[in-house]
Amino acid sequence: MTINVLAVDDSRTMRDMITLALKDEGFDVTTADDGVHGLEVLEGLQPDVIITDINMPRMDGFGFIDAVRGRDESRLTPILVLTTESSDELKIRARNAGATGWIVKPFAQDKLIRALRTVAG
C-alpha cells in the first residue's frame, strides 16, 4: 500500500531530504513551501499523513495545523511536526492544535518512516 504524504517546509533542502528519504520506501510525497501553499495543495489532495515544520513565513505550522483541522476532509488526517524546536511548551501547543506527533530535526530516516507508517495506520 502506497502512503501519500504532504510535506510542508519552507526549506527546499528539507523538502528534498524528506522526499528522498521516503520515495525509496514506497511513499508518494507531495511538497509545499509554507502553510498557505500547503492549504492550496490540500485542495486537490487527500494525503494519508501530513508533515509540517513550525517556523515558516506567511503561515506557521500552528496556523497550518489549525486550518487543516478546520476542514472536514482532513480533520482526522495524522499530522507530524518536523522541526528544530524541542521545547515542551511548543509540543503541548502543537498537540493542542491537533498534531499527532513531533520529530526533531535533523531526523533519522528510519525513525521518520516508522512514525509515518504507525500514524498512517
- Each residue of 35-78: pLDDT tens digit? 999 999 999 899 999 999 999 999 999 999 999 999 999 999 99
Give the tens place of pLDDT for each residue, 78-102.
Answer: 999 999 988 999 999 999 999 999 9
**Residues 59-85 as b or e (16 or more Cβ within 10 Å = b):** bbbbbbbebbeeeeebeebbbbbbbeb
* Domains of the chain (ranges, CATH numbers): 3-120 (3.40.50.2300)
Please name the amino acid found at residue 114: R
- Grid cell listed for 12: 527546499
